[in-house]
Amino acid sequence: MPNTADDLTNLHILLVDDDEIVLDLIGAMLRALGVERITKARSGSEAFATTSKLERVVDCVLCDYSMSPGNGLQLLQAVRLGKIKYLRPDLCFILLTSSGDPDVVAVAAELDISGYLMKPATPDKLRTAIVKGRARHFPVNLEKYAKANIPM
C-alpha cells in the first residue's frame, strides 16, 4: 500500500516566483512528481489576488525569496498572520532561494517556515521538502509573527 503522505497527486500547490523560467521549470518538476493542481503567481501581490479566485484550498506554497516588488518572507508573514483569506495560517510554506543569508534563514525560522530549498532544486529535493514540510506541525503564534523583522 503506498504511503499517502508521499503521494503528491491530490495536492494544490501555489508556486510564486518572478522568473518565468523558474515557474515553468518547477511547474514541470511538480507535474513529473504527480502534482495535478498548480497555481502560479509572479509576485506576492499577484499571489494575494490569485488566491481570492481559487476554487480549491492551497495545500502548499513554494515561494522564491527574492522577488520584485516584495519578497517571499513578506508573503510568508502575511500567510502566518492570516491576512490572505484563502490560505490557512499554518499552511505548508517552502521558501525557494539561491540565498543562504543567515538573516533570511533566521526570520524564516521565526515565521515557522515549513521548508527551505536552495536553488537549483531537483525533483527529489522538491518532493522531500514538500513531504517533510507538510508533516511539520506548529502552533500559530500571531504575536510572534507580527514582531518578525523582515529583511528587505
- pLDDT the model gives residue 55: 81
- pLDDT the model gives residue 3: 47
**pLDDT tier, 120 (very low <50, low <70, confident <90, very high otherwise):** confident
Show me where the domains of the chain are located: 4-147
- pLDDT the model gives residue 98: 83
- Domain 4-147 classified CATH 3.40.50.1000? no
**pLDDT tier, 1 (very low <50, low <70, confident <90, very high otherwise):** very low
Q: In the predicted model, is pLDDT for residue 112 greater than 70?
A: yes
Q: In the predicted model, is pLDDT for residue 7 greater than 90?
A: no
And the C-alpha cell for 43? 509576485
Task: Note the pLDDT tens digit of each residue in 62-87.
Answer: 999 988 777 999 999 999 999 987 89
Tell me how far CA of residue 43 lies from CA of 25, 73, 77, 144, 148, in angstroms: 17, 12, 14, 24, 20
- pLDDT the model gives residue 5: 56
48-49-51-52 Cα dihedral, nearest 10 degrees: 120
